[in-house]
Amino acid sequence: MGQASSPINFIERSVLEFVIAPHLGHPYLQSKDFNGMHAMELGLYTFADVNPNPSRSKGAEGAERLKHLIEEIELADQVGLDVFGLGEHHRPDYAASAPAVALAAAAVKTKNIRLTSAVTVLSSDDPVRVFQQFSTLDLLSNGRAEIMAGRGSFIESFPLFGYNLEDYDQLFEEKLDLLLALRDSEAVTWSGEMRPAINGRGVYPRPFQDPLPVWIAVGGTPQSVARAGALGLPVALAIIGGEPHRFAPLFDLYREAARRAGQDQAKLKTSINVHGFVADTTDAAADQFYGPQAEVMNRIGRERGWGPTSRPHFDASRGPKGALFVGDPEVVAEKIIAHHKLFKNDRFLLQMAIGLMPHDQIMRGIELYGTKVAPIVRKALTESGEGAKASA
């Protein structure tokens, strides 16, 4: 990729699809028209970070953050991004502990974008409640809801909801099993050790989509990746440090685990979820993103015993092999394309709104991501035949 400049860069994609596409017969747009699906979905996710020590009323700050969040999702939809994910955390530094509730507000303000948790900490939740909430979200959005289920990278939810961290694996395994049973049939009979049994009861409302998509979010544990494959579920891999290309073999493991379990390869999907930011220039992107991202990584790092980050480390990480996708639209697009060649991922999610990133910078970043990055990526994938492959 050079300084690619697609003619559709500056035009809202949804307009293009309905007005211009039939006349142009652009291959990507055709595949979207015919299949309702991109070669690779491009999206965003956030945990709705807030200042953990606000001088203002916490309520007022939380209300402003959620107002901005809804505006960010609306803009992401308007510029044609495919997915928006919202995390679940139980800490003073995040406003999102009930992602389906906030996403429901976004559902009635958007038209096309898919709305997912990122992630639902399934281990410490009740799968029946999770299913009901996302089924309701699915109805409100006419079939755009997804659950991204994970074991949780934070552990605050375990003592809060009365779970034992020693049961970490069994909790996730059993609750995932129940969640899948709930989406597979209306009346469910289930029993396990971690949650009361259900004896032939129906769970309502039923979702719009059948089945309601359930992704498995993983942090790099091979067993988790293999489990997702064996279950034939889509897998989302978070990469927030190191060299992403080293994780690519995990998706081979995923596909191999699926093959061995006899799962339909057509049902498999992969996503990589990373930190990054897009601005008009690469210098501006780096300067704007460094402070908030480093503050978060250092704050979390102190809890977990990581060493502090630094600007030189940050700058190295935004190089071609590093984990950060930070730059002007061409730089970020090229990095997304290069990693797609390694991962063959079906989805790419970027966490731009991290820490106390100013709302106006996030809005500009979303605009650039949708109107400049996405067209470059889609054009490259179409030309390389990925578009045809994905829509086959």
- Shortest spacing between CB 59 and a copy of itself, in angstroms: 4
Residue 170 to residue 165: CA distance in whole angstroms? 10
Told to check if 209 binds a copy of itself by CB under 8 A, we report: yes
Q: Mark residues 176-205: x for contact with a copy of itself by CB under 8 A, - for none.
A: ----------x--------xxxxx-xxxxx
- Shortest spacing between CB 289 and a copy of itself, in angstroms: 24
Structure-token match 């003073």, residue found: 92
Site residues for a copy of itself, window 102-131 (CB under 8 A)?
102, 104-105, 107-109, 125-126, 128-129
Strands 83-86 vs 41-46: parallel, antiparallel or unpaired: parallel
Residue 136 to residue 51: CA distance in whole angstroms? 30
Cα–Cα–Cα angle for 291, 331, 348, rounded to 5 degrees: 85
Site residues for a copy of itself, window 47-86 (CB under 8 A)?
50, 57-60, 62-63, 65-66, 70
Residue 202 to residue 279: CA distance in whole angstroms? 49
3-state SS class at 325: strand
Q: Which is nearer to a copy of itself, 91 or 321 (CB)?
A: 91
Q: Convert 330-363 to b/e letters by CB count within 10 Å (16 or more is b).
A: bbbbbbbbbbbeebbbbbbbbbbbbbebebebbb
Total chain residues near a copy of itself (CB under 8 A): 63
- Shortest spacing between CB 370 and a copy of itself, in angstroms: 21
Site residues for a copy of itself, window 361-380 (CB under 8 A)?
none
- Shortest spacing between CB 43 and a copy of itself, in angstroms: 21
Q: Which is nearer to a copy of itself, 210 or 252 (CB)?
A: 210
- Shortest spacing between CB 361 and a copy of itself, in angstroms: 22
Q: Which is nearer to a copy of itself, 109 or 311 (CB)?
A: 109
> What are the two backbone dihedrals, phi and then psi, of residue 200, each rounded to the nearest 5 degrees?
70, 35
Collect all residues with Cβ–Cβ distance below 8 Å to 208 and sequence separation of at least 6.
138, 139, 141, 142, 143, 145
Q: Mark residues 301-330: x for contact with a copy of itself by CB under 8 A, - for none.
A: ------------------------------
Structure-token match 């991290």, residue found: 354
Note whether 91 and 156 are within 8 A (CB): yes
Residue 101 to residue 86: CA distance in whole angstroms? 10
Told to check if 211 binds a copy of itself by CB under 8 A, we report: no
Site residues for a copy of itself, window 147-176 (CB under 8 A)?
156, 159-163
Q: Interhelix angle for 329-343 vs 248-260, to 10°?
A: 40
Told to check if 90 binds a copy of itself by CB under 8 A, we report: yes
Q: Which is nearer to a copy of itself, 3 or 57 (CB)?
A: 57
Residue 190 to residue 192: CA distance in whole angstroms? 7
* Interface with a copy of itself (CB under 8 A), residue from 41, 49, 138, 334: 138
DSSP H/E element including 134: helix 127-140
Handedness of CA 54, 90, 270, 25 (dihedral sign): negative
Residues that bind a copy of itself (CB under 8 A): 50, 57-60, 62-63, 65-66, 70, 89-92, 94-98, 100-102, 104-105, 107-109, 125-126, 128-129, 132-133, 135-140, 142-143, 156, 159-163, 186, 195-199, 201-210
